[in-house]
Chain A
């Protein structure tokens, strides 16, 4: 097949992702994006100019060889593309779906200078999905067993990645997960219509087949402490316990019925299947008029989950403007299509209740943008006398999460920062020798791919640490 010239490549438009239409998809929780067909994938892949200095790689937190895997798709070697991805990423089917590519690889794509960037995320998803469909796929190669065990605290993206990398290096790995199902935020936070759980289970199953022992219902900090693990045969511990503590606003009325933290709302819906009540026994309340306060991915997830419960109205109320919203662009787009009403420059001041103790409205203030704050974004400033009441019967507070203090509080000598984050160096080493950390518990709430990158670096550092101890 003849090679395309750059001019020909530039002529190919960015291929649209086949998706379920909004009116259809909000009736259920099936995945919105359907994935490229092989033809669409090859066509999209052919847009890649194969730049000599691939800027896209600089935008990738784990420096995936993007031109490399894309070229293999161009050549119809989808399995090869997946294998190439696996050299760098342990969760390509997840990241292809949830990475904010517009802020990472795709932001730096040369095609984006004059046109639309290469749909790198969609191509990654395509290759990873092909790999999943290949039931003959071989497990990653494992180094000879070193006879050493490592304990992993938390089975979210950081922990799963650290586990996989350590298994490949020949270590025995036990993952301790507090909940009854592994996956962390991948199963309790991100809804099915964005990330089918089958994908998470597939990745976890691979880890099991590689030899990982996964113990659920094990709360490190309560059932065992980190020190007990170190004193009971584990040569090192990786803490990937995440940022699962919800930030509440401490507003009057926050205790009213019908008011949820986004964590509780999503935990009930995603992990406990409350949307299938009473088949699944966990209930949830989702009324006719829902307000979600917040502007990140969690807020978008909560709003789009609420929408699928068929209320009359779902609002996203954010205290800054659309330009400052941290949520992934595609989620905001999909949310708009699905009928979410966005209200910007709004902040809640009081939650109002009826005589039965249920929320009936939220008193809000209008905001305007003032000087930038510590995050670099312009700080919202209340406009005096601009109070109004938002008429809602369900409120979800999705303004952020910080690390759960259980592990830091029960691990002597572990240095912890201002917001409860564990202090760790670039390789994940903490103030305790043999104790490493990565993901949201170090950075605060962030992305799957950053957690994955941290798990990978920590696995390397743990390997070096254990080998160094061995040779003394």
Chain B
């Protein structure tokens, strides 16, 4: 039913998949995600919808192979099916004409940032995008981001491409060093990266939204597994989010909860539970 229409490797262990999901493609808005189950034994996990084509009835997802479930997904090829895809889930991004927006994407976070940058630009905002990664080879979606941004700044930790430094330092430099002014910042990426960007924007007084990535099961608000602390209040990322005011987020609690099943990952080594008749 949820057929993979196309699959492309776009970075080391990073794949772009176009999948058939007409009911979801029809109504999906920027910022929303799907809950997938690759096989009947698989876990349910969320992925942000990077793009959608209502005419074709397809969704674009970008996945990084980090463990068993993403590996099982990435090992499927065009023509094969994903067992279950449900959505669109979560509140769409609140898109308004803010003025000057800076979209900061770290690592794989650039993928979910793409639809937000695109929607902000379409609403008449001026969009500056900062794409960061550890090193040159891990920078993804540069071309796609350039197409939806007024300007793009690349940053690598090791300086192999673009500015040398963390995206948070780059953002700080753009404001304090180059005198840029931003009405809104959006940051998506690993939790320490979002936290670092929020620390910078809090100092600079820039309103910031982040898209949180807690562990989820159903994605529809029925289990509370994705609960996060926003301004000291419990919110469910799947139904109250996934986007929140970055300055209100308890990032330490989120990081701690993300580690909850780390001790079990060793039992899910690839190959041990990979689909039959697969060679590495």
Give residues in A with beta carbon < 8 Å to B: 178-180, 216-219, 222-224, 244-246, 248, 250, 254-258, 260-261, 263-264, 267-268, 272-273, 277-283, 285, 356-357, 404-406
Determine if B16 is an interface residue (Cβ-Cβ < 8 Å). Answer: no
Task: Establish whether residues A267 and B223, one from each chain, have CB atoms under 8 Å apart when the complex forms.
Answer: yes
A217 to B253, CA, bound (A): 30
- Measured between C-beta atoms, what is the minimum distance from A354 to chain B in Å? 11
A255 and B257: CB pair below 8 A?
yes
Contacting residues, chain A, for B268 (C-beta < 8 A): 278, 281
In residues 244-259 of chain B, which contact A (Cβ within 8 Å)? 250, 253, 256-257, 259
- Chain B contacts for A285, CB-based, 8 A: 260-261
Shortest B259–chain A CB gap in Å is 7
| Contact indicator A272/B44 (Cβ below 8 Å) | yes
Contacts of B86 in A (CB 8 A): 178-180, 217-219, 223
Return the contact of A248 from the options B37, B84, B234, B253 (Cβ within 8 A): B234
B224 contact from A178, A180, A263, Cβ within 8 A: A263
For A357, list chain B residues within 8 Å (CB).
Answer: 256-257, 259
Contact of B42 among A179, A261, A281, A405 (CB under 8 A): A281
Question: Among residues 77 to 100 in chain B, which have CB atoms less than 8 Å away from a CB atom of chain A?
Answer: 83-89
In the bound complex, residues from chain B placing their C-beta under 8 Å from that of A273 are 41
Select the residue from A178, A248, A404 with max chain B CB neighbours within 10 A.
Answer: A178
1/0 per residue, CB under 8 A from A, across B218-249: the answer is 10111111010100001000010000000000
A278 to B267, CA, bound (A): 7
A281 contacts B220, CB within 8 Å?
no
In the complex, B276 has a CB within 8 A of chain A: no
Give min CB distance, A401 to chain B, whole Å. Answer: 8
Residue B56 CB within 8 A of the other chain: no
A and B contact pairs by CB, cutoff 8 A, 24 listed: A180-B37, A216-B84, A217-B84, A222-B89, A223-B24, A223-B88, A224-B23, A248-B224, A250-B234, A254-B227, A256-B256, A257-B256, A258-B260, A261-B225, A267-B218, A273-B41, A277-B264, A279-B273, A281-B69, A285-B260, A404-B220, A405-B221, A406-B220, A406-B221
User: Would you call B239 and A406 a contact (CB within 8 A)?
Assistant: yes
- With contacts A180-B37, A219-B87, A281-B68 taken as known, whether A264 is within 8 angstroms of B225 at the C-beta atoms is yes
B249 smallest CB distance to A (angstroms): 12
Measured CA separation A279–B268 after assembly (Å):
9
Alpha-carbon gap, A283 to B220, bound state (A): 19
A180–B83 touching, CB < 8 Å: yes
Q: Is B144 an interface residue (CB 8 A)?
A: no
- Cross-interface CB contact of A255 among B218, B229, B267, cutoff 8 Å: B229
B277 adjacent to chain A (CB < 8 Å): no
Residues in B whose Cβ lies below 8 Å from that of A268: 217
The 9 closest A-B pairs by CB, nearest first: A357-B256, A264-B223, A244-B222, A180-B84, A217-B86, A282-B43, A261-B224, A257-B260, A264-B225
Contact status B223-A263, CB under 8 Å: yes
In the complex, what distance in Å separates the CA atom of A219 from the CA atom of B68? 27
Q: What size tier do the contact residues of chain B reach?
A: 35 or more
A194–B250 CA distance with the chains assembled, in angstroms: 40
- Nearest CB to that of B273 among chain A residues? A278
Interface centre among A244, A255, A272, A357 (most CB of B within 10 A): A255
- Measured CA separation A383–B220 after assembly (Å): 39
Query: B55 at the A/B interface (Cβ < 8 Å)?
Result: no
Query: How far does the Cβ of A265 sit from chain B's closest Cβ, in whole Å?
Result: 9
In the bound complex, residues from chain A placing their C-beta under 8 Å from that of B43 are 272, 280-283
Q: Does B27 contact A (CB under 8 A)?
A: yes
Q: A279-B41, A406-B220 are in contact. Are A222 and B68 (CB under 8 A)?
A: no
Q: Return the contact of A404 from the options B24, B85, B221, B229 (Cβ within 8 A).
A: B221
Closest A residue, CB atoms, query B268: A278
**Inter-subunit contact B23/A223 (CB<8 Å):** yes
A222-B88 contact, Cβ under 8 Å, with A248-B227, A281-B41, A406-B239 = yes
Most buried by B among A217, A248, A272: A217
Q: Inside 8 A of A223's CB, which chain B residues have their CB? A: 23-24, 27, 86-88
Contacts of B87 in A (CB 8 A): 219, 222-223
Give Cα A27 to B114, complex, Å: 50
Smallest distance from the beta carbon of B233 to chain A beta carbons, Å? 8
A423–B234 Cα distance when bound, in Å, is: 27
Complex Cα distance, B41 from A449, in Å, reads 31
Q: Give the most central of A216, A223, A279, A281: most B CB within 10 Å.
A: A281
Q: Nearest residue in B to A256 (C-beta to C-beta)?
A: B256
A202 vs B67: C-alpha distance in the bound complex, in angstroms? 35
B37 CB contacts on chain A under 8 angstroms: 180
Q: Are A264 and B224 in contact (CB under 8 A)?
A: yes
User: Are A267 and B222 also in contact (CB < 8 A) when A250-B234, A277-B264 are?
Assistant: yes
A257 to B264, CA, bound (A): 14
User: Per a CB cutoff under 8 Å, which of B24, B84, B220, B223 touches A261?
Assistant: B223
CB-CB under 8 A from A356, the residues of chain B are 256
Are the CB atoms of B44 and A282 closer together than 8 Å?
yes
Given the known interface contacts A219-B86, A272-B217, A281-B273, the answer about A245 and B222 at a Cβ–Cβ threshold of 8 Å is yes
B223 to chain A, nearest CB (A): 4
Known contacts A217-B86, A245-B222: A255-B253 contact under CB 8 Å: yes
Most buried by A among B43, B83, B85, B253: B43
Q: A178-B86, A278-B268 are in contact. Are A255 and B222 (CB under 8 A)?
A: no
The CA-CA distance from A178 to B87 in the complex, in Å, is 9
For A180, the closest partner residue in chain B by CB is B84
CB distance from B160 to the nearest CB of A (A): 35
CA distance in complex: A254, B227 (Å) = 10
Known: A223-B87, A264-B217, A279-B273. 13 other contacts (CB 8 A): A178-B220, A179-B86, A219-B86, A219-B87, A223-B88, A245-B222, A255-B257, A257-B256, A261-B223, A263-B222, A281-B69, A281-B273, A405-B221
In the complex, chain A residues whose CB is within 8 Å of the CB of B27: 222-224
Residue of B whose beta carbon sits closest to that of A254 = B234
